[in-house]
Structure formats: structure tokens, C-alpha cells
Amino acid sequence: MSNLPALTPQVFSILSALIEDRLGLFFGPDYLDLVAEKLGPRVVERGFESMLDYYYFLRYDPAAEEELRAVADLLTVNETYFFRELTPLEALIGEFVAPLAATGKRVRVWCAACSTGEEPITLASLLEERGLLEQVEIVASDVSSRALAVANRGVYSGRSLRAIASPPSWLVDQGGHQLVSERLRRAVDWRLVNLLDDDAVGALGVFDAIVCRNVLIYFRDETTTRVLGRLHRALTPEGRLLVGVSESLIRLGTAFQCEERRGAFFYRKSP
């Protein structure tokens, strides 16, 4: 640690502001040591002599966009597991996805900020149980290429499996690890997307449902409002947004209306 470049409060202030502006991630003064620990080895690896030099590179260099992906890999929290907050997903399928599919429509669902993929795989497994998987297009995105690499491999262990008492048929034992069946992995379209990037979000098209859970808590209100504006535009007029159980949009005064279905709360575009 002593060989890593120092991160002064002054440089931390401008560096953290840049990270928030480009990635949405907010790090207050108490996180100075954490950011220094996470980014220090990367700064050395890239050959920069100081954290200030690294900041200038991220701020002004044309190659900074690619480097910011590495920053996202280092700073994002990939805490998720299969069947997490299951009731809202079941309500989403029963109340909205299944009725739409029954009309013959191919339903589009976006799992935004999917981390290492456990959530969209869980969603795909629930749809398969109901015979709906072929009628639903699942797009899953994250800002971290490292997390998406895990999702693409589909190999999981440890905390990812902590809510599973007995592995379902779509998990195949690989000697201490579990491999998700190819059918479920191929049912998900994995995308590298920064939720603050208008063009990247717009390129995904519109969706009948968006699942964006346990990510808004890492944003400040201003950033959350910006992200919600993009999600609002990405929903069909009758689409629904599902956020985490601890995340409420009501206090933000957004263009969403809250409704309760089967004990879960959803947001739709205000009339």
C-alpha cells in the first residue's frame, strides 16, 4: 500500500466529482481511503505518477471512455444472488408479463444494472416455469464489463447461491460451482450500458417492463432523477418500472405513479 500514489482530499474532490458525473457513483469524503485503495493499483499499472495525472487523463484524454469502464469494474458493488426479492418478480410476471404475452405480443423486459446476472437468470427461470420464456425478450445491462463477463460465463458459487436450498434443474454442478443451463443463458441479451448515457439507453429501444433494483441507492437524488428520466422514456405508455424494496420514487416527484400489486410496488407513467 505504501508504494501506491497518495490521494489527497483536493484531488479526491475533483476525481470523485468526475466519477459521479460519468458513472453516477457517489463517493463522499468518508470514502477517500476506499477509492484510493481500489484505484491505486490501476494508476500504477497504467504508468501514471500521481492520482492527479490519472484524473487529467480521465478528464481530457480521448481514450478515457475505455478507461472509465475499468474504473466502473473497480468501484461498482456486485452484491446480488439468485431469487433475491422474489415476490416482486413473480408479481411482475403474473400481473403484467403473462397478460401481455397472452395477447400474442412479444414482451420486452429490461433488467438494468444487472451486475453479475443472477437477477435476469432468475427472471428467465420463472418465465420458463410458466412456459413464457419464448414469448419474452430479456435484455440485461450493466456498466461493469467484468460483471457482464461473469454473467456470460454463467458459472456461480458461494453467495450467489445462498437462497437456493436445492439446486434447480437449470443449474448443473461443475465440481463446487454451478453452471447455468445454456437455454437460460441464451435467453438473455447481455449489454454493456451506462445508465447516464442517453445514446446507449436509447439504442436499447422501448420496453414493457424495466427492472432496476438496488442501484438507485448508490446515486444522489440529482443523478437518480436523471436516470429515471431515461427509464421513463424507455417504457411503453403502459409499461411498468420495478425498483428495489427499499427504494421509493415518491419523494422525488418524478413522472411515475406508484401502484401496488400482489404486495409489490410498481411505477407506471403518470397519466
Residue 1 has a pLDDT of 47
Percent pLDDT > 90 in the chain is 76
Residue 204 has a pLDDT of 97
Residue whose grid cell is 428495489: 244
Q: Decide: helix, strand or coil at residue 32.
A: helix
**pLDDT-derived band at 271, boundaries 50, 70, 90:** low
Q: Judge if 198 and 91 occupy the same domain.
A: yes
For residue 48, what is the domain's CATH number? 1.10.155
Q: Judge if 139 and 59 occupy the same domain.
A: no
Pairwise CA distance, residues 50 & 14, whole Å: 14
**Contact of 107 with 97, CB cutoff 8 Å:** yes
Q: Judge if 70 and 91 occupy the same domain.
A: no
Structural domains counted in the chain: 2
| Residue 1 in domain | no
Q: Judge if 55 and 100 occupy the same domain.
A: no
Q: Determine the structural domain holding residue 71 and report its residue range.
A: 9-75
Q: Judge if 213 and 160 occupy the same domain.
A: yes
**What is the CB neighbour count within 10 angstroms for residue 205?**
11
Query: What are the residues facing 139 on neighbouring strands?
Result: 110, 189
Q: Judge if 150 and 258 occupy the same domain.
A: yes
For residue 243, what is the domain's CATH number? 3.40.50.150
Average of per-residue pLDDT across 35-45: 94
Q: Judge if 206 and 181 occupy the same domain.
A: yes
- The secondary structure element, H or E, covering residue 198 is helix 198-202
**Contact of 211 with 85, CB cutoff 8 Å:** no
pLDDT digits (tens, 9 = 90+) for 101-114: 999 999 999 999 99
Average of per-residue pLDDT across 46-68: 94
Q: Judge if 19 and 93 occupy the same domain.
A: no
Q: Judge if 101 and 71 occupy the same domain.
A: no
| Residue 2 in domain | no
Q: Judge if 156 and 71 occupy the same domain.
A: no
pLDDT digits (tens, 9 = 90+) for 157-215: 888 999 998 889 999 998 889 999 999 999 999 999 999 999 999 999 999 999 999 88
Average of per-residue pLDDT across 71-82: 87
Q: Judge if 136 and 232 occupy the same domain.
A: yes
Q: Judge if 58 and 150 occupy the same domain.
A: no
**pLDDT-derived band at 270, boundaries 50, 70, 90:** confident
| Residue 4 in domain | no
| Residue 80 in domain | no
